[in-house]
Each structure stands twice: as structure tokens, then as C-alpha cells.
Amino acid sequence: QCILACPTASLNEKEDIDDVWKVLSDPDKFVVAQTAPSIQVTIGEIFDMPIGSFVGGKLVSALRRIGFDKVFATDVTADLTIMEEGSELIERLIHTPEKLPLLSSCCPGWVKFAEHFYPEFLPNLSTTKSPHEMCGALTKTWYAKKYNIDPSKIVNVAIMPCTAKKYEAARPEMTSDGYRNVDFVLTTRELGKMIRQLGLDFKNLPEDNYDEPFDQFSGAGTIFGATGGVLEAAIRTAHKLLTGEEMDVPDFEEARGQSGLKYSQVTLKDKTITIAIAHGTGNAKKALEMFKSGEKKFDYMEVMACPGGCVGGGGQPILGGKDHNHISLGYRHNRSDTLYNIDKNKSIRRSHENPRIHQIYEEFLGKPLSEISHKYLHTTFTPRGKHPYLKEVD
Ligand code: SF4
């Protein structure tokens, strides 16, 4: 059953709490935490706060008290993922249409599913690394040099919504200059346990801010945590990159909501493209089969393995008891709504407007899809054949 729901078999959860406590107590290590966008609207539930409460400042505060040397927002590198993936979309639309549709690749559950069951689509996957891998790569290269820290002493701990991210962090290609990008992944629930072990009164913690230079992010980076969020963020930036003009309204309502597979059209300059959004691998399978048969074509698809996207991830707080099914759709709504509200109230809502993104390109990468970007921020995929223990999802 688990394997059907979780294509990475990552529900055989391995806790990393003890190992993280160990590096935190090592004075020779410089230990950095990064938090995925969805964590700031889910971890409060572990401490009896209402479903979908925004607790970003308390989260940073808790991580400092636990002993992390720096606390970074993965939302910043979500903005960077959008710069690279949006540029890939334009590159393929203009120069390599044979590599369309572009398929998002920031969900390791979906990537593993594609590697096993749809290897013929691997050339279509965006080669852009997922945000936590980008944050890890930049921490051990650009950041280490900028702040004169020996990269061999840096330990990057990612607080993520799922155990599939543990598998992703362990992939052999996820290294930079010989260092593993991300050393440990803790799920929301594991971090909740650490906060309890330390006896922190999470609800009453003061608000704190993320550390430079991974501290400022756009609303586009934040909505990554909800199904459709990556695609909405990418369209906002692709529109600007292709036309030189901003979309009239940044909201792309067609990308939102909990329906499992949806299609829409968007016009970028003189091109009208069809986009698809699937959450749950069963819906991804449906979309790919219809694409193959010619029944439904599309140019760009976002896939998230978990229903609702990362707000519904397997490492998030589990709520509901016997009413779990009834509550699950509701809590996904509440958590996503909070992310969309954060976006709405941000002064910067597009990844390409984030000053930290400008800084990273000016000081290190040059421009999207540059040689350095490809070296540190892009990856490859491996056809893996049908796994003897994995079954396809209907
Ligand atoms: Fe992990 Fe699920 Fe988010 Fe994919 S959708 S990254 S499997 S939480």
C-alpha cells in the first residue's frame, strides 16, 4: 500500500535526529538549517496551533535555540529554481521544441516514478535542481567563499515536507566540488520531535528573521509548497523573460485548487502554450498516457507526487484520527490558503524581482543557464527499469 502512495519507497522512514544532534554538538562544524516553504504553515499544528497557522518567525527562533549557526529560507532558492526552469522553458519553446513538454522535476517522488515507469520522458524533465539542493550547493560554494568558511566544515540540514527528500539528498549526482549539497534531511515531524526534546514552548517563542543572504524571497518562492505553485511562479517569470513585460496580474488562478489534473492555456508573447498540473502520481500517469496517445497535448507540466503538493507531504504533521480522510482535504486547503495569502501580501511577488537573486547572479552565476549554473544547479536522471517491489498507480 505504502509503495503505491510513495514511489520512492521512502515511507520506510529513517530518522536523522540523533545524527543532527551530534553535528550540532561538534564545535568544529558550521551547521546551517534551511526550511522548505511549506514548513512555515504546517509545523505549528504539532504544537496544537490551528491548521495552516503561519509560524515562519517562530520556526527560525526554534532552530536558533536548537543550536544552528545559521537559518536559511529555501524559498530563496525556490526563486532561483524558477529563474533556471523558466529560462529552460523559453529555451525549449524557441530553440528545441522537440524537448517539449517541459516537465517539472523539483519533486523527488515524481522524478523516481518517471525514472522507473516513464524513462522515455526523462529528456523532458527540467534539469534544474530542486530548491533545497540549490541551497546546499550554494552554501558550500558561493557562501563558503564569500564568508571565508571551509566548506568541509559546513553541514547543511534541510527541513523538508517528505522523506523522499532524504533519498534525493543521497543521490550521487547531488554534490558540488566533492561535497554533498545537503547532509541531512529532517521532516517537519522530526523537527517537531527535536523541539519537544529541547522542551521549547513553540507557541510562545518570539519571531526571528532568516539569515543573510538566504533571507529575502518572493511570494512566488513561497507558493512552491502548494500544487500548481511552481508552474504559477514559472509563468510569472517566463512572461517577463520572454516579453520584457510583467503579467498584468501575477495571480494565475487556473493553476490553483485541489482538482487532481487540470489544463489551461497561457499566452507568452505570440505563443499560446498549454499547461498541465498533476498531483498524485496516478494523475501524472493519466496525463502522460493521454499525451502519448495524442488525446491531450501540453507544453509544460508540473507534477507533485503528494495530493495537494508539499503541504500534503508524507513528513508533515498527521491529523485527523478516524476522520482523517474528511479532514485531509480541508487541511490541504487551509495550508495552501495561508501560502497564497503570504504571496498576496508580499511586496515582491515574482522570482526575478528578488534582490537576493540579482545578487547571486551578479556575484556568482552570471546569468540563468550559464556554465556555472549548469555545473552547480543542474542535474541528470537515470532510467531505472521496473522496480521489482514497485507497482504502478492506477
Ligand atoms: Fe515531497 Fe510530496 Fe513535495 Fe514531492 S510533493 S517534494 S514527495 S512532499
User: What does the pLDDT look like over 352-393, one tens digit per residue?
Assistant: 999 999 999 999 999 999 999 999 999 999 998 876 556 555
Measure 226 CA to ligand 1 centroid, in angstroms: 10
Which atom of ligand 1 is nearest to 161's Cα? 8
Measure 231 CA to ligand 1 centroid, in angstroms: 15
- Using CB distances shorter than 6 Å, the residues near ligand 1 are 107-109, 161-162, 164-165, 304-306, 309-310, 313
Q: What is the reported pLDDT for 192?
A: 97
Give the list of residues 6+ apart from residue 302 with CB closer than 8 angstroms, or none.
104, 227, 228, 230, 231, 255, 275, 276, 277, 278
Task: Render pLDDT for 112-149 as a digit per residue (tens, 0 to 9).
Answer: 999 999 999 999 999 999 999 999 999 999 999 999 99
What are the cell numbers at 291? 499525451
Instruction: Please name the residue whose Cα sits nearest to atom 1 of ligand 1.
Output: 162
Active-site residue flag, 106: yes
Q: How far is CA 348 from CA 69, 252, 268, 311, 351, in A?
A: 27, 16, 21, 22, 8
Q: Is the dihedral of CA 323, 260, 79, 350 positive or negative?
A: negative
Split at pLDDT 50, 70, 90, the class of 329 is: low
Q: In what side-by-side order are the strands of the sheet with 102-103? A: 102-103, 300-304, 271-279, 261-268
Active-site residue flag, 165: yes
Task: Render pLDDT for 14-44 as a digit per residue (tens, 0 to 9).
Answer: 799 999 999 999 999 999 999 999 999 999 9
Pocket test for ligand 1, best of 8, 310, 318 (most atoms within 8 A of CB): 310
Split at pLDDT 50, 70, 90, the class of 2 is: very low
Active-site residue flag, 173: yes
Residue 86 has pLDDT above 80, yes or no: yes
Split at pLDDT 50, 70, 90, the class of 11 is: low
Domains of the chain: 2-377 (3.40.50.1780)
Task: Render pLDDT for 249-262 as a digit per residue (tens, 0 to 9).
Answer: 677 777 777 788 99
| Whether the Cβ atoms of residue 228 and residue 257 lie closer than 8 Å to each other | yes
What are the cell numbers at 68? 544552528
- Angular region, 321: left φ>0, alpha ψ -120 to 50, beta rest: left
How confident is the model over 341-348, as a mean pLDDT?
A: 91
Catalytic residue (one of 126, 176, 336, 373): 126
Residue 314 per-residue DSSP state: T
Measure 308 CA to ligand 1 centroid, in angstroms: 9
- Measured distance CA(82)–CA(349) in Å, rounded: 12
Residue 8 has pLDDT above 50, yes or no: no
Active-site residue flag, 306: no
Q: How far is CA 218 from CA 39, 57, 373, in A?
A: 16, 16, 20
Task: Render pLDDT for 264-311 as a digit per residue (tens, 0 to 9).
Answer: 998 887 889 999 999 999 999 999 999 999 999 999 999 999 988 999
